[in-house]
Structures are given as C-alpha cells and as structure tokens.
C-alpha cells in the first residue's frame, strides 16, 4: 500500500497527474491511497514551488508539470 499525495490547487495538470497515478498503479497491480492536497499552506510545507507536486510515502518525487508515465511507474514500484 503506497501513500500518494498529489499537491496542487486543482489545475488541469494536477487532475491529470492524479489520474496517471491511478492508471499506472493499476497496471503494476499496486494498491495506492490517493489524496489530493489543495491547501496552499500544506503545499508550501512540502517545499515545492511549482505544481503539480507528487509525494509518495512522505517523499517529494516530482514538482512542476505533468510527470512522464515511465517515471511514475518507477516511483510507484520503488
């Protein structure tokens, strides 16, 4: 069970990122607990400046722009 947080104020790319998490996790057969963090204070608390940001098991793995699916698979599998 992976704890995945998508950081972003609800922009188009943030939604696309969250969908990509689910798609890639399903492909790999990994169970994820997906949460969208939209609170600006909470987002800043993770130290990122650009959204969408991606936090997996408490670790920031990505910030700014849509991640690549192959990277997503790698982060989820790690």
Residues that bind other proteins (CB under 8 A): 8-9, 11, 24, 27, 40-41, 43-51, 60-65, 68-71, 73-74
C-alpha 49/C-alpha 69 separation (Å) is 22
- Rounded to a whole number of angstroms, the minimum distance from the CB of residue 65 to other proteins is 7
Tokens of 68: 């690549």
- Rounded to a whole number of angstroms, the minimum distance from the CB of residue 33 to other proteins is 21
Determine how β-strand 2-7 pairs with β-strand 32-37: parallel
- Rounded to a whole number of angstroms, the minimum distance from the CB of residue 78 to other proteins is 11
CB-wise, 18 or 24, nearer to other proteins?
A: 24
Order of strands across the sheet that contains 53-56: 32-37, 2-7, 53-56, 59-63
């Amino acid at each position: 069970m992976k704890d995945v947080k998508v950081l972003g104020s609800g922009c188009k790319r943030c939604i696309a990122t969250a969908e990509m998490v689910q798609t890639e996790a399903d492909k790999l057969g990994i169970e994820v607990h997906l949460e969208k963090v939209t609170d600006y204070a909470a987002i800043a608390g993770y130290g990122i400046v650009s959204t969408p940001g991606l936090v997996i098991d408490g670790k920031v793995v990505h910030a700014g722009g849509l991640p690549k699916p192959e990277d997503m698979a790698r982060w989820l599998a790690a």
